[in-house]
């Protein structure tokens, strides 16, 4: 999603570290902050609270446990079907006459644009800074498990989508909660769907919109100097509106170009740095493996590394949140499970590849050292003392790591953050729109109202520091996982039936390649 995906206090800390000025001591910002902090703080605390006696957020456990169950239930489908997933993305099995709006590749890039974001740049640095290099191991493991969650929810998203006469479709958790529950004669489907839709709309305005605009402006002024945030907001709002007013096909045409470009730019830069320090690769991998299972230099030892790694993966790839199922529902296919196969590539790309590249660069370039006095990993700043890694040093740490090889990377980082923010906003505009039309009905006028409201929040996000508002909206995104995971548990037998049928027909040659 992608927002930064840290807990509420860390979000505030990151904003400070990115150069976001604190809320004014007077005026509207202060009033709104006070109202939201007093009335919604309990909800934010509930969503991001830890299990008693641990530093492990319960919402992360909710997502990781579900991912583990789906992995076992579907027989490690993320590994068995990986090759076929790539074939589907290439279009080998795509029938252009199937119902839907976008190709498998476009659906994948649209969903990826909502998950690949600032969390891949700054969040990984925070995880390693607190949990040590060993956090990378657990981050990769959680990403691999999350592939099964994406497979489950996106298969259901396509199976229970609504297809309209004009060729458009609407799908996602709201629809498989209502239609899937009705098919299995289960109670509560409508209630869960409405709850999910409310969480999704509010989350799209905050974590999927305002926070992104806020961070993009913060990175720009760090390079070009101070200027009013509303200018950035207006420019971004106009660009976002021009894209989203054309509907999902317009969004898909943009994301299929932007997402591969920004991901390739980031990963290639990382690979070059790793290649330049090839002699350190073995050492880095050794630190990752040993740090995952030992107590050396890590707060809480292996448990600390596990907590940070799982937290980063869950907050980065959104597996189990339900958002990706909305984008994947619009794919052109008559076989729901094919999009489940395609979607399982998301956590692999987002977490296993991009997040791991960030981690390896930080470790290899020696930006972290262990403070023997405290056991904390600290920034390795020659001549400037040492300081622990917290939410407000994540972007700085990643920037320092990349800039140690390429001094110009700070400018690339600005481009990456702006592109990540833009792609996240246009994806979440679609997620919020589909939740909006589920509650209020389809129609161009109703859709236009939502799109205008969404763009207004872009301007607000770039020009104000409404911390509690954004924290509340971000909590809403993770709250989406509560009704969604419940629905996935109850509907996963349907997914298994779809999977077995498809794989059987694939083996016997009934399903063939096109072209």
> Cα Rg for the chain, rounded, in angstroms?
22
- For residue 170, the model assigns a pLDDT of 84
Using DSSP, how many helices (H) and how many strands (E) does the chain show? 26, 4
Could you tell me which residues are beta bridge partners of residue 379?
Answer: 368
DSSP secondary structure string, 253-309?
A: HHHHHHHHHHHHHHHHHHHHHHHHTGGGHHHHHHHHHHHHH--TT-TTHHHHHHHHH
Max Cα–Cα distance, the chain, nearest Å? 70
Instruction: Characterize the bridge pairing of strands 377-379 and 368-370.
Output: antiparallel
Please report, rounded to a whole number, the percentage of residues in the chain having pLDDT higher than 90.
Answer: 25
Query: Residue ranges of the alpha helices (H) in 365-408?
Result: 394-403
- For residue 455, the model assigns a pLDDT of 92
- Structural domains in the chain? 55-507 (1.20.1740)
d(CA 41, CA 277): 46
Residue 473, token pair as written in the block: 């909206």
- Residue 163, classed as helix, strand or coil, is strand
- For residue 382, the model assigns a pLDDT of 38
CA 488 to chain centre: 19
* pTM of the entire predicted model: 0.82
Kindly give the parts of the chain with pLDDT less than 50: 1-26, 297-300, 374-393
pLDDT in tens, 235-252: 989 988 988 887 667 777
d(CA 72, CA 68): 6
How many Cβ atoms are within 10 Å of 31's Cβ, its own excluded?
11
- For residue 6, the model assigns a pLDDT of 39
Contacts of residue 360, defined as CB under 8 A and 6 or more positions apart, other chains included, come to: 136, 270, 274, 281, 284
Mean pLDDT of the chain: 79
């Amino acid at each position: 999603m992608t927002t930064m995906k840290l807990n509420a206090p860390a979000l505030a800390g990151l904003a400070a570290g990115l150069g976001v000025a604190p809320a004014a001591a007077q005026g509207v910002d202060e009033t709104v902050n006070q109202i939201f902090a007093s009335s919604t703080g309990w909800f934010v605390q509930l969503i991001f609270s830890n299990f008693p006696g641990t530093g492990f957020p319960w919402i992360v456990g909710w997502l990781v446990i579900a991912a583990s169950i789906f992995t076992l239930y579907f027989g490690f489908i993320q590994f068995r079907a990986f090759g076929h997933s790539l074939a589907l993305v290439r279009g080998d099995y795509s029938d252009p006459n199937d119902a839907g709006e976008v190709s498998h590749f476009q659906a994948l890039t649209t969903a990826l644009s909502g998950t690949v974001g600032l969390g891949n740049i700054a969040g990984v640095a925070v995880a390693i800074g607190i949990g040590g290099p060993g956090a990378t191991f657990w981050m990769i493991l959680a990403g691999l498990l999350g592939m099964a969650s994406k497979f489950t929810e996106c298969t259901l998203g396509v199976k229970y989508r609504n297809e309209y006469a004009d060729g458009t479709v609407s799908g996602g958790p709201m629809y498989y909660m209502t239609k899937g529950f009705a098919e299995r004669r289960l109670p509560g489907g409508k209630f869960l769907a409405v709850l999910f839709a409310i969480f999704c709309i509010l989350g799209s305005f905050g974590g999927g919109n305002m926070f992104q605009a806020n961070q993009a402006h913060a990175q720009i002024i760090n390079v070009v100097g101070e200027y009013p945030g509303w200018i950035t907001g207006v420019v971004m709002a106009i660009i976002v509106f021009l894209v989203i007013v054309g509907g999902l096909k317009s969004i898909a045409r943009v994301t299929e170009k932007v997402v591969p470009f920004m991901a390739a730019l980031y990963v290639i830069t990382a690979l070059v740095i790793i290649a330049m320090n090839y002699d350190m690769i073995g050492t880095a991998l050794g630190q990752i493996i040993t740090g995952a299972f030992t107590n050396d230099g890590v707060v809480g030892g292996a448990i600390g590394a596990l907590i940070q790694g799982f937290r980063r993966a869950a907050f980065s790839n959104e597996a189990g949140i339900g958002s990706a199922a909305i984008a994947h529902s619009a794919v052109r296919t008559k076989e729901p499970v094919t999009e489940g196969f395609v979607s399982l590539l998301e956590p692999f790309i987002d977490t296993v590849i991009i997040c791991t590249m960030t981690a390896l660069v930080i470790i290899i370039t020696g930006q972290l050292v262990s403070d023997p006095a405290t056991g904390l990993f600290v920034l390795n700043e020659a001549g400037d003392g040492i300081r622990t890694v917290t939410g407000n040093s994540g972007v700085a740490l990643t920037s320092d790591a990349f800039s140690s090889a390429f001094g110009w990377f700070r400018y690339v980082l600005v481009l990456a953050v702006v592109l990540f923010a833009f792609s996240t906003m246009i994806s979440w505009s679609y997620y919020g729109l589909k939740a909006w039309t589920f509650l209020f009905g389809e129609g161009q006028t109703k859709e236009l109202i939502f799109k205008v409201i969404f763009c207004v929040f872009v301007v607000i996000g770039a020009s104000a520091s409404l911390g509690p508002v954004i924290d509340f909206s971000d909590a809403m995104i993770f709250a989406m996982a509560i009704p969604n995971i419940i629905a996935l548990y109850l509907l996963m037998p349907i997914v298994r039936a779809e999977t077995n049928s498809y794989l059987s027909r694939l083996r016997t040659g009934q399903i063939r390649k096109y072209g």
